[in-house]
């Protein structure tokens, strides 16, 4: 079960422009530097107003419209990496507090703010670490040694969400879980399947809300085995 406090809320809404950077992998372009904004921000099916996607092959799209990360997990990494981590520094659009975002179920629905005005979001996928992420932290003076491996083993990836109902969101808005599916595929379990425990991949095919990218990975994993069994 996910853990949600009655006081669960959004503590920051973060956006950032795409810009050219030599340290940003083969693409040499990134939008990982996201900063908190004040006031109400529109969230549509394509993402958060004012936010940009640099690497569109691996980020963005309807199933990765919004990335959420918990303030509690940022605080964990501040201790691990040896310095303060501001809201948005992990590239998240929504910094949350009071909810274990990694225990959320794929297909779980979050109402942010009030129904009819705030967006209704659904957990669809999970963030996979990359070298650009590590380089960014190193530039901020943090210990990026073997960060991709450390991130994979820490079990704090944070979910990508699709937007079921557009709306506006602002820092301080309440966050309520309004629907939990009847299965056991959490954000963390999905992450493990895609990284360190590939034998879990077949489980993804039983959950219709799983995003198309992780589903394709699971289908590719299962296909050779199905051929052998036949």
Per-residue pLDDT, 229: 58
List pLDDT tens digits, range 113-154: 999 999 999 999 999 998 999 999 999 999 999 999 999 999
Let me know if 13 is exposed, middle or buried by CB neighbors in 10 A (0-12, 13-18, 19+).
Answer: buried
Query: Range with the lowest mean pLDDT among 3-7, 20-24, 91-95?
Result: 3-7
List pLDDT tens digits, range 50-105: 999 888 877 889 999 999 999 999 999 999 999 999 999 999 999 999 999 999 99
Q: Is the pLDDT of residue 4 over 90?
A: no
* Mean of per-residue pLDDT scores for the chain: 94
SS (H, E, C) 39-87: CCEEEECCEECCCCCCCCCCCCCHHHCEEEEEHHHHHHHHHHHCCCCCC
pTM, two decimals, is: 0.94
**Which fold does the domain 4-181 belong to in CATH?**
M1 Pyruvate Kinase; Domain 3 (2.40.33)
């Amino acid at each position: 079960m996910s853990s949600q406090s009655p006081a669960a809320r959004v503590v920051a809404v973060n956006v950032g422009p795409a810009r050219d950077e030599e340290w940003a992998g083969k693409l040499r372009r990134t939008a990982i530097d996201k900063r908190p904004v004040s006031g109400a921000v529109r969230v549509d099916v394509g993402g958060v107003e004012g936010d940009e996607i640099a690497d569109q092959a691996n980020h963005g799209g309807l199933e990765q419209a919004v990335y959420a990360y918990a303030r509690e997990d940022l605080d964990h990494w501040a201790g691990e990496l040896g310095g303060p981590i501001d809201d948005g520094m992990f590239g998240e659009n929504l910094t949350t507090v009071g909810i274990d975002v990694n225990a959320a179920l794929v297909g779980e629905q979050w109402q942010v703010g009030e129904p009819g005005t705030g967006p209704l979001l659904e957990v669809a996928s999970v963030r996979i670490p990359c070298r650009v992420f590590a380089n960014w932290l190193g530039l901020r003076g943090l210990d990026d040694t073997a960060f991709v491996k450390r991130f994979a083993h820490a079990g704090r990836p944070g979910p990508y969400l699709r937007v079921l109902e557009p709306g506006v969101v602002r820092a301080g808005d309440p966050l309520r879980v309004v629907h939990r599916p009847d299965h056991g595929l959490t954000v963390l379990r999905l992450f493990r399947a895609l990284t360190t425990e590939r034998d879990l991949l077949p489980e993804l095919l039983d959950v219709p809300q799983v995003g198309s990218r992780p589903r394709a990975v699971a289908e590719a994993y299962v296909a050779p085995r199905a051929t052998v069994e036949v």
